[in-house]
Amino acid sequence: MVRAMATSKRVAAAREPTAPPATDTRQRIIQAGLAVLTRGEPFSLGEIAREAGISRQALYLHFDSRVALAVAVAQYSDELFGVEQALAPVREATDAPSLLRAQARFVTKYNERLYPVVRMADALRQTDPDMAAPWEDRLAARRAGGRAIAARLDQWGALSDEWTVETAGDWICALASVKLWEELVIDLRWSKERFARSLEQQLCSALLRTPGEEAPTAVAHSAKGTGKKSRA
Amino acid sequence: MVRAMATSKRVAAAREPTAPPATDTRQRIIQAGLAVLTRGEPFSLGEIAREAGISRQALYLHFDSRVALAVAVAQYSDELFGVEQALAPVREATDAPSLLRAQARFVTKYNERLYPVVRMADALRQTDPDMAAPWEDRLAARRAGGRAIAARLDQWGALSDEWTVETAGDWICALASVKLWEELVIDLRWSKERFARSLEQQLCSALLRTPGEEAPTAVAHSAKGTGKKSRA
DNA sequence: TCCCGAACTTGACATGGTGTCAATCTCGCG
DNA sequence: CGCGAGATTGACACCATGTCAAGTTCGGGA
């Protein structure tokens, strides 16, 4: 193949995402991996290599193992989707209903896009301990995201009394899971629109204080209220 | 294969679960499979054979393939759990809150017990088309269960206006999914008690008409009301 | 009593995937 | 020129699934 020089591995790590010439082999492998993963399933390394136009053995010049490649593909897929940008509406929401609406829309798009990758990662983590750690990281990030939403709801006095910030965050995280999305959209054939709509509604009815109840400023029975329990 | 006579397979199928002498090899294999599956993961046929005290090749005298064994294990696991009996409180509930409470408790117990089996089946169905059909069957059964609950809520006039029986049924089905249970109980370390409590609460807040609203007998704005839309 | 057939055994083998190793090729650059 | 990075071909070990063949054990029926 081409490549050569002090280019390639070191460069790939340092390359900014703004330079997509993709002449880099490592990058080509990752893209091939994503392509193979996205269509169908079986996921054989030989297939990815063929797709990338290199020999199977060359994969091992760039990745220690199947899992390392999978992790790289997952990360690339994340970057490609642009989580940061997609999350902007969620971060910028200024009231509870629009926050939850933004979250529902984000979740719908994100899960649709990341579904094949998460699927594979989930399958791999069962058999491969090396996949467990990255998986945990992602889970922690999702959990933190859910908790951040719950914390803002709580700050606004919008969080229903039955929740703590922690439990509400976990529930938000669970409802945002690819698995729930898969169950409804893939297995039960829901349309994305219906999923988004239902998720929004359910987030609202699950989390939000019902309008008729105590005002956010009023500290009622126990130690509930505005600053419920922001961290342990 | 060998198979022949009216013995063996036929006998295994016809044997009542009340006779546990376990002299039947097929049954021993299934039990070994469940045991291996329940602890840890890797799931190698050789291991199951060793656990069952027979040679690896003897597995093929009883099961055509890995998938056939897996299906048998899943079915056995179901019988062992006693779904019918465990579902009794759900079937016998006479009001909406206790129905949803019974459902939440059933789901918690069932998912905890069936988790390893479902895990394996889900992994297998990705690569093995033979697993897809049994999976679909189970999904259809779960969906029907969810829909039955939704229909009863609707009959009682307890189902919130935003739902049809179909969509509510699917939502119940999705919240009953092993995957949601896994996310919360396994990955996020929720206790079973907390899961059961939250699930019950969330089923209620998601599905039930809020107390202040229109009475069940009153047919309000559109064509909603008691007999919402029992089938398409 | 003998023997048939069912169930199981051992052992070998094909296939296909992962991961490793060694030898070779090809460039660009110092 | 020759080094060295990246890539190639080819071979190999290992393991899991699935198949095949031949032999063993044992119970029950003719």
Which nucleotide comes closest to A59 if you measure CA to C1'?
D7
3-state secondary structure chain B: CCCCCCCCHHHHHHCCCCCCCCCCHHHHHHHHHHHHHHCCCCCCHHHHHHHHCCCHHHHHHHCCCHHHHHHHHHHHHHHHHCHHHHCHHHHHCCCHHHHHHHHHHHHHHHHHHHHHHHHHHHHHHHHCHHHHHHHHHHHHHHHHHHHHHHHHHHHCCCECCCCCHHHHHHHHHHHCCHHHHHHHHHHCCCCHHHHHHHHHHHHHHHHECCCCCCCCCCCCCCCCCCCCCCCC
Cβ–Cβ < 8 Å for B219, B225:
yes
Q: Is B107 on the interface with A (CB under 8 A)?
A: no
| Per-residue model confidence as pLDDT tens digits over B146-193 | 999 999 999 999 999 999 999 999 999 999 999 999 999 999 999 999
List beta partners, residue B208. Answer: B159
Stated in angstroms, how far is B32 CA from C6 C1'?
23
Alpha carbon of A52: minimum distance to chain B alpha carbons (Å): 23
CB pairs under 8 A between A and B: 69
Q: Identify the pLDDT of residue B23.
A: 60
| Per-residue model confidence as pLDDT tens digits over B12-50 | 333 333 233 336 899 999 999 999 999 977 789 999 999
Task: Please give the domain boundaries of chain A with CATH numbers for all domains.
Answer: 82-207 (1.10.357)
Cβ–Cβ < 8 Å for B179, A159:
no
Question: In angstroms, how far is CA B18 from the centroid of its own chain?
Answer: 23
pLDDT beyond 50 at A41: yes
Which tokens hold the place of A66?
Answer: 């199947």
A18 SS3 class? coil
B123–A42 C-beta distance less than 8 A: no
Q: Is A71 on the interface with B (CB under 8 A)?
A: no
pLDDT beyond 90 at A181: yes
For B194, the closest chain A residue by CA position comes to A167
Stated in angstroms, how far is A62 CA from D3 C1'?
22
pLDDT category of residue B214 using cuts at 50, 70 and 90:
low
Residue the block writes with tokens 């679960």: B17
B53 backbone φψ class: left, alpha, beta (φ>0; ψ -120 to 50): left
Residue the block writes with tokens 């609707």: B154
